[in-house]
């Protein structure tokens, strides 16, 4: 069995039911489109109407058309086909079409610059690129240098001269499933690491990994046919797509929301009767801030059917979840931990039955094992800090074309995550910090996440990042980059006073008021901050004692 078997089953059993809805809240609400396949193929213009939808049967037929288009061009099993598109109804049918053709799907980060696009296409040996109208300018800058590409397909109207109109070509292709037999061991997809530690690495997964992520997600969150999943994060990332896999397995509707404003999220939940929402930390924070300030009134929305909010992709401040549970006391809540190297979320998860353990990332997920080990790979005692390692069917095959990095990360079948954690006496795992982010100050190990969690308790602080700054005497000191809530002001002295409850050695030695940069999956971009502040003169900061 492979992942698209679920799609074909849904098309047989629930063909006329809605599979996906795309919402574009930035346009007028009276612009709507019931998206039939023929309409899409003839005049695709992703993002134009307020609402579009696609049935399970149209989803499957469109995937078959794209697979047959690829095969008609002579593509073979294992050919890499990249997707560079914003979230839209076309995204998933194209992804599944690539898989059905026996090719390898290569989702691309929509925030990549032209140079990063070129780098990743070359790194993954991509031969075919599918891209949307938002990327024309970036592609124009590099298209003459992409010598390894055999063809480029454009999803939209009036594409550049060097592209072919993908959706129009699909009208000439069969809607029958292509005669390509695949097994769980066949290569399926290449995902890119988030790049928070430098240039992205290409992560190769097989069909078994995709299938296992589907089973893990459905086991954790018990999606049923009448559930509706609100998907906000970018589909190129394993987190969004693998959470959606639970909807795929249950044959239930999902909503792709193109926007993250709190009122847009609440409106989508109300209009589409969403029951499950996966949020990133910044979005949950902004929703709570809007509700608590009175800018967002929950009385204006119907949210009674919303049963589960889960969160992940980066360390989740316990204070944030306590605030959430106070505002939404009837919600189930779950924390999901994962990496692209472990096919997304779920290798460790809290579980909806464990709200009393907020702060932990949880226990090994369905089909997974996890341990906390020392530098020699030996499991440490409960309560001691070590590196989190995981093992399961979703561990990557390798970093593509990077055997040295693969050997560093996979040892005896265990994936070394680079995250430092500890396990309590009940077996719950708590993240301490990224191994590379640990600050060694005067011989003491400082874990930035612990300091960040403390600072987030301050009512004036919207976001915070703690990094190591060079110091002649101590080697490194903790520097706190603090983003204040809108309308709030604070001084360094106020922050220092707030930190008096921290042990002296953990208190930030420098306070900097600035915006905290995060990538599309919500992770703090600490390399950006290190480049900005390490070794440079700190203008808006003050040394503290």
Is the pLDDT score of 68 beyond 80?
A: yes
**Mean of per-residue pLDDT scores for the chain:** 88
- Give me the mean pLDDT over the 281-293 stretch: 88
Q: Topology of 4-221 in CATH?
A: Rossmann fold (3.40.50)
> CA 309, CA 329: separation in Å to the nearest integer?
11
Tokens of 479: 């520097």
- Give me the mean pLDDT over the 50-54 stretch: 92
- At residue 450, the 3 state secondary structure works out as helix
Degrees to nearest 5, angle at CA 171 with 169 and 175? 120
Beta-ladder partners of 167: none
Of 167, 151, 165, 164, nearest to 61 by C-alpha is 167
Q: What percent of the chain has pLDDT over 70?
A: 90
25 vs 61, which has greater pLDDT?
A: 61
Superfamily of domain 447-543 in the CATH hierarchy: ANL, C-terminal domain (3.30.300.30)
38 vs 12, which has greater pLDDT?
A: 12
pTM of this prediction? Answer: 0.82
Within the chain, all domains assigned CATH 3.30.300.30 are found at 447-543
> CA 498, CA 85: separation in Å to the nearest integer?
44
SS3 content of the chain, % helix, strand, coil (to 5): 35, 30, 40
For position 52, what pLDDT does the model report?
93
For position 456, what pLDDT does the model report?
85
Q: How confident is the model at residue 93 (pLDDT cuts 50, 70, 90)?
A: very high
For position 322, what pLDDT does the model report?
87
Tokens of 322: 């306590």
User: What is the tens place of the pLDDT at every residue in 184-231?
Assistant: 999 999 999 865 445 789 999 999 999 999 999 999 999 999 999 999
Half-sphere exposure of 447 (CA within 13 A, CB side): 17
Within the chain, all domains assigned CATH 3.40.50.12780 are found at 4-221
For position 539, what pLDDT does the model report?
35
Is the pLDDT score of 540 beyond 80?
A: no
Beta-ladder partners of 52: 22, 33
DSSP-derived secondary structure for 456-479 = TTSTTEEEEEEEEEEETTTEEEEE
Work out whether the CA dihedral 89, 15, 187, 172 comes out positive or negative: negative
For position 100, what pLDDT does the model report?
98
SS (H, E, C) 90-140: CHHHHHHHHHHCCCEEEECCCCCCHHHHHHHHHHCCEEEEEECHHHHHHHH
The answer to whether residues 458 and 498 touch, using CB atoms and an 8 Å cutoff, is yes
User: What is the tens place of the pLDDT at every residue in 431-468?
Assistant: 876 667 778 776 567 778 788 888 988 889 988 988 88
11 vs 340, which has greater pLDDT?
A: 11
Q: Of 34-43, 190-199, 278-287, which one has max mean pLDDT? A: 278-287
User: What is the tens place of the pLDDT at every residue in 328-373?
Assistant: 999 899 988 888 999 988 899 999 999 888 888 999 999 999 999 9
User: What is the tens place of the pLDDT at every residue in 381-407?
Assistant: 999 989 999 999 999 999 999 999 999
For position 195, what pLDDT does the model report?
54
């Amino acid at each position: 069995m492979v992942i698209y078997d679920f799609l074909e089953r849904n098309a047989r059993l629930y063909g006329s039911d809605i599979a996906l809805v795309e919402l574009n809240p930035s346009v007028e609400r009276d612009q709507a489109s019931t998206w039939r396949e023929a309409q899409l193929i003839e005049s695709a213009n992703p993002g134009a109407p307020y609402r579009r939808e696609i049935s399970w049967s149209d989803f499957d037929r469109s995937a078959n058309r794209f697979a047959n288009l690829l095969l008609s061009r002579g593509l073979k099993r294992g050919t890499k086909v990249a997707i560079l598109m914003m979230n839209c109804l076309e995204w998933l049918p194209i992804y599944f079409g690539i898989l059905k053709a026996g090719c390898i799907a290569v989702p691309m980060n929509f925030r990549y610059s032209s140079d990063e696009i070129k780098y990743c296409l070359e790194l993954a040996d991509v031969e075919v690129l599918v891209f949307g109208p938002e990327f024309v300018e970036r592609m124009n800058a590099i298209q003459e240098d992409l010598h390894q590409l055999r063809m480029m397909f454009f999803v939209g109207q009036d594409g550049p001269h060097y592209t072919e109109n993908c959706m129009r070509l699909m009208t000439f292709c069969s809607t029958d499933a292509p005669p390509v037999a695949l097994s769980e061991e066949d290569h399926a997809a290449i995902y890119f690491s988030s790049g928070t530690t430098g240039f992205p690495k290409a992560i190769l997964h097989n069909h078994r990994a995709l299938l296992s992520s589907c089973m893990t997600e459905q086991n954790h969150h018990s999606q049923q046919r009448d559930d509706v999943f609100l998907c906000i994060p970018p589909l190129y990332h394993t987190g969004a797509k693998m959470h959606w896999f639970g909807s795929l397995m249950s044959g239930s509707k999902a909503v792709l929301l193109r926007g993250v404003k709190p009122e847009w999220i609440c409106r989508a939940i109300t209009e589409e009767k969403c029951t499950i929402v996966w949020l990133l930390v910044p979005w949950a924070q902004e929703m709570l801030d809007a509700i608590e300030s009175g800018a967002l009134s929950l009385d204006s929305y119907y949210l009674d059917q919303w049963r589960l909010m889960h969160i992940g992709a980066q360390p989740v401040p316990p204070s944030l979840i306590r605030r959430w549970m106070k505002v939404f006391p009837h919600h189930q809540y779950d924390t999901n931990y994962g990496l692209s190297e472990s096919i997304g979320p779920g290798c460790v998860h809290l579980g909806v039955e464990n709200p009393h353990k907020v702060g932990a990332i949880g226990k090994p997920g369905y089909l997974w094992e996890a341990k906390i080990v020392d530098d020699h790979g030996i499991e440490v005692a409960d309560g001691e800090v070590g590196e989190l390692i995981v093992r399961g069917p979703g561990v990557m095959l390798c970093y593509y074309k990077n055997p040295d990095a693969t050997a560093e990360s996979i040892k005896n079948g265990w994936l070394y995550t680079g995250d430092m954690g500890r396990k309590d006496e009940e077996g719950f795992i708590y993240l301490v910090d990224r191994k590379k982010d640990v600050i060694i100050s005067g011989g003491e190990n400082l874990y930035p996440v612990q300091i960040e969690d403390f600072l987030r308790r301050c009512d004036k602080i919207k976001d915070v990042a703690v990094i190591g700054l060079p110091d002649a005497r101590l080697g490194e000191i903790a520097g706190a980059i603090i983003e204040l809530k809108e309308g709030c002001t604070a001084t360094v002295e106020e922050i220092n006073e707030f930190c008096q409850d921290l042990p002296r050695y953990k208190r930030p030695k420098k306070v900097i008021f600035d915006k905290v940069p995060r990538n599309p999956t919500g992770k703090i971009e600490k390399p950006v901050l290190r480049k900005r502040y390490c070794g440079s003169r700190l203008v808006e900061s003050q040394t503290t004692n």
